[in-house]
Amino acid sequence: MFTQAERLISLRNLRPKKKEGFLKVISIFSFLGIMLGVSILIIVMSVMNGFKTELTKKILGLNPHIIVESNGYKIDDKFINELKNTIKNIEISKTFSGEGVVIGNGNAKGVILKGLDVNNNKDFKFLKHSNKNNITKIEEGEVYVGAELAFNLNLEIGDKINLMSSVFIATPFGGFPKQEAYTIAGVFNTGFYEFDQNFIFLNLKDSLNIFEKEEDDKNIEIFLKDPLMADTLKTKIQKINQNYFVYSWSELNRSFFNALKVERNVMFIILTLIVIVAAFNIISGLTILIKNKTKEIAILKTLGLSNYSIKKTFFLTGFVIGFFATISGILLGVIFSLNIEKVRFFLSKFLKFELFPSDVYFLEQLPSELNPNSIILILIFSLVVSAIASYIPASSISKMKTFRALKYD
């Protein structure tokens, strides 16, 4: 693609003379700008990918993968057996939940009351952080509250609370919300502020009772071997019986993941501007170089070198800067991403300031996940920008009047 003469001329352009020190400064800034832009892009994208992966794991640990609501039709054993035959390696749990109000120590707060199946240990995995050890079931009359809710209402294990449902019961004095007394058996801490503040778990029988529901009103929750197949398997479940409402975990959290996606795309667009701005240094540097090399270009043309070959030499000069800056940026970004938690720990200790508080971001460590597709995309983008930035000033050579450069020599 490039002849030996073109490569030699390009290499000579990369080593400016002492009197051309300004060009050397521009080249260094072009190199550093593209390198830092590429590395920052990779670091930010890896952190965003890490956030999405870790938060997805958290959500999957707290929520079922598919929910089937009765919609007024009993979810019978025939449907459950057909479900197990259609989808292999699944766990099914019966449950019921609704909105209610918790009253304790003179305070009240709206919450979600969720009844758990005492015969299914899968329901109790997220209660592993409870103050009560070896949890295998919730007895009737017991509840488990989140750490944030317990803190806000000043509740402790053993305290009595009242739960009020949205169901009204008739009395001689009119309709009143149904209310029952329960004992706090444990306090759980999932790491999600909203979850720990708004959920109360109780026995499934108690949840049906407080909402005046029958056994036929129970819903089922499905746990899959591969949670990412939830949307696909949801369609199969709907075909078994179209009378039920079926939701997947991704649908219930769609707004959250859409917000993450939008934020990730916006960050990518903003940070690519760093690379584009750095590429302008290549344009300005090559433009100045071409102006300073007008006499040399005229001599090369006189010796028989074509406009096309000369353009290729200056294009190669700019592209080499962009290419090595991109490769250096990728290496720096990958190394930084792989050791980002160590860097965070060092900076937090050095600055004596918590850079990644777990109570805000729901995670104990700063997550990072390198995505090969993202790295390839950044590589291609940076090389394309470098190529365009190198081509623009190089293309102006064909318009130069070289005879004027030699007129007085």
Residue located via tokens 């290496």: 331
* Domain shared by 98 and 143, yes or no: yes
Say if residue 315's pLDDT is above 70: yes
Lowest mean pLDDT among 1-10, 214-223, 339-348: 1-10
**How many domains, in total, are found in the chain?**
2
* Domain shared by 130 and 212, yes or no: yes
Residue located via tokens 């294990």: 157
Lowest mean pLDDT among 51-65, 91-105, 175-189: 51-65
Predicted local confidence at residue 142, as pLDDT: 87
Examine residue 272 and state whether it is found in any structural domain, yes or no. yes
Q: Give 361: exposed, middle or buried? Use CB within 10 Å, 0-12, 13-18, 19+.
A: middle
pLDDT tens digits, 280-290: 888 877 777 77
pLDDT tens digits, 252-294: 777 777 877 787 888 888 888 888 887 888 887 777 777 766 6
* Domain shared by 279 and 378, yes or no: yes
Q: Global pTM?
A: 0.68
Inter-residue contact 30 to 283 (CB < 8 Å): no
Which residue segment(s) compose the domain that 179 sits in? 91-223
Q: Can you point out the beta strands (E) in 117-173?
A: 142-146, 160-171
Say if residue 362's pLDDT is above 60: no
* Domain shared by 165 and 210, yes or no: yes
Say if residue 380's pLDDT is above 80: yes
* Domain shared by 269 and 323, yes or no: yes
Query: Whole-number mean pLDDT of the chain?
Result: 78
Examine residue 41 and state whether it is found in any structural domain, yes or no. yes
